[in-house]
Structure 1
Amino acid sequence: MDDSPDRPHEDLSPEETARREAEKQALLQRLGARRSAPAAEPTPTVGEAEQEHETLVEGPTSTEINALLGRLDAEHEAAMKSAGESYEAQRMALLAQRREAEDRESRRVDLEISEHLAVALTAVRAGNAAGTERDATDAERAVQAQQAEWRERVAPAIQKARETRRELLAFRREYGPTLDEVLGMKRTDLLAGLPLVGIATSRSLGLVTQLHRNAENARSLLDGSLRTIEDKAREIATLIDSPHRWSGGVNSHGVRNQETVREINQALYELAMPNEALPALNDMMKGVTGCLDGIRQLREQFAGRPEVTAVPEPMLRGGDLEDLKHPPRPAGDTGPTRAETSMDLFRDGRRTE
């Protein structure tokens, strides 16, 4: 390119001038130069346009670029954080929905497996029977024989205990509410309307005390008998069904597992105890009935009498009771004399020869 000042000038058409101006502005924009408003710039001459076209324009500074990078990183970090929070929120919501669906599905009865289950159970049951017969060893046969012997031996006692339990349950259904009501009555309420002074006081107190005692004994015997039947029947079944717990070896009479046999015998003895509970319970309920009748009759007998409304006097004890038995003599009355004994002398501090 000829840069001499004497080089000839080329006259440009307005279209060519506009085209070159557009190229210059495009170049300046690519280089990052700031463009001022076109109206404020004077129209360059042909020489000025060529000289400006050949001048290099500086871009943004490093500080400005760092600021742009910082803003870009901040925007990226904010976008990533927002996206992460949105992801976590959606994921937690979906997990909660899955848990609800699984819980809802688990509570439904799956009828589709019923037929398959029946077939599988039948096959396994048949295999169990065949395998038990095929794989049973001599020791297993001995255990099975011992269990069969013990079950046959305890069967009558277990049957009797079941019958007793049915009778006790019938007793509880019949008299349980009455016992609960009597035990819930306060002593002061039962003594209301009963004579608490005079010779009938002891009868009033005795009826109330005996009523509560009979009810408490009946409740205790009833509950204890039912509990004994359940516990001992379960204990016997556990002893028989647990060969790994058998102990004792063989005694001199040829009895195997003698320690286990002793435990079974003790459980059978305790299992039979409730068999005698029902007669005692019936007697106790008769006692409760008698006490209630006695309280009713005593209230009717002393209705409206002063013994019912009088305030009971405290029981006399010690010196007060002696004064009641031997009231003091009036003044001046020496009373009958008696012979002085050696004991009297000791009381007076004197000695006897």
Structure 2
Amino acid sequence: MNNFAYAKATNAAQAIEQLNGNTQNKIVAGGTNINDLLKYFVTQADKLVDINPFIDNHAITPLENGGVRLGALVTNADTAYNPVIESKYPLLSKAILAGASAQIRNMATNGGNLNQRTRCYYFYDVNTPCNKREPGSGCSAIKGYNRIHAILGQSENCIAVFPSDMCVALAALNATVNITGPDGDRVLAFADYHRLPGDTPHIDNNLKHGEIITGIDLPAKGFEKNYSYLKLRDRASYSFALVSVATGLDLDGTIINEARIALGGVAHKPWRVTAAEDFLKGKEATQDNFAAAADIILQGAQGYEYNNFKIPLAKRAIIRNGMMALNPDSQRPGAQPSL
């Protein structure tokens, strides 16, 4: 780990001043990702600006429109176990609890969850070429061991995937991100926050240097009656998703009034295709209709030598999760899926 300076900030203005326009000055909150990046020399920092002392952004508060604001500095654990989130946004609670270990959830913050870097083997191995670390050096994963890598939205420059579980649920819920920076405040739709790799795989999101996430807003609609989060992984404990699916349904009997489906573990950002959701409107919630929606979501999917299995796995996961959303009790330990 390289030497760096350390500073504390009690508000956003102080943090922005400490960053001082130097791209090697970085924010630290929970530190569950930045510490790894520094330790393995994946990134360097001249200064870490600790924003934990912020007076604001440590709370979950109601909004006038019936939604909820998640403070950026609230931990993942406190968010998942918050009574309002558990009752009104259980899809988000389930997704958070499927991610990482309890110890990490106790440290990781909501804002940091959005900004974590990809977990590609080659990204973390500084002895191999990686366009995310060193633009123009090449992507070792394309012809390497690519079992966990992307099947959607990838480019010839990068096939890494975004690792968050929480963000898959936030994508399905149509969240928005509140940001402040040197140029003032702005709000970004969650769908516009993360980026696909394209020709700039080293840029993970649309947060500008010097900007800070202050909160994440959830709309009033939480799909608390019919929802499911399914995470398929190599082992049940502390493992990133091979494929994950967040599903929320608004039903009239067995007819779908509205559907939300977002995938994780398959792309450089949470993957959501609104055309598939539009297809499901007015249709019965059946395996056949979820299968047809899955085909729309996975259109253009491309596998590589070791991850071709993820395409049929993703389709089965979408179908299974849609059926599980009809009966959220099926997600309890020991319950049988509705298939």
* TM-score > 0.5, shorter chain as reference: no
Shorter-chain TM-score bucket reads under 0.3
What is the TM-score of this pair, normalised by structure 1?
0.20
- Which structure has the larger Rg? 1
Give the structure with the larger helix fraction. Answer: 1
